[in-house]
Amino acid sequence: MGVAAATRGYQPFRLTHYRAEWVAGSDKWAEPNTWPLQEGNTLWDINRLREFYKPWKELEQKGVGVMVGEFGAYNKTPHKVVLAWMRDCLTVWKEMGWGWALWNFRGSFGILDSGRSDVHYEDWRGHKLDRAMLNLLQAF
């Protein structure tokens, strides 16, 4: 399934890919300053995430394996917003019994050398570690 199909109707894409150079028009999106995220008449929060992922849970109940193959948010989205969104996603996936993978470990979506301007980094073996994000991920 391509990005367009996978994210159809998923407004937090504006959160996860805010100002991503490879997404046309993302430089014109309003900065996502909060999570939960209000998009028009729709509030994206933990309960909306549960509803969004419900079809995948139904597939799993029919014997289809489900894993969140990659997730994360680009380094232009405010850190506090990313952490709040991640916490809700991880909570929902844990409730559903699904595994997940961060995209990526090191780089603009990761916990190492992300280049976020609003993170207090810890020096770790010559890299810049986002300890807050690491702690959140380890909690799940």
Helix (H, G, I), strand (E, B) or coil at 98: coil
Residue 31 to residue 105: CA distance in whole angstroms:
24
Task: Decide if pLDDT at 93 tops 70.
Answer: yes
Average pLDDT of the residues in 44-70: 95
The pLDDT of residue 40: 85
Q: 139 vs 9, 48, 108, 115, 130, CA distance in Å?
A: 29, 22, 22, 23, 15
Return mean pLDDT, the chain.
92
Q: What is the mean pLDDT of residues 114-125?
A: 98
Cα–Cα dist 55/61, whole Å: 10
> 3-138: what CATH class?
alpha beta
Check residue 43 and give its pLDDT: 95
More confident residue, 78 or 11: 78
Mean pLDDT, rounded, for 44-61: 96
Q: What is the pLDDT of residue 35?
A: 97
Torsion on CA atoms 120, 101, 21, 43, rounded to nearest 10: -80
Name the pLDDT band for 39 (thresholds 50, 70, 90): confident
Say yes or no to pLDDT of 113 above 90: yes
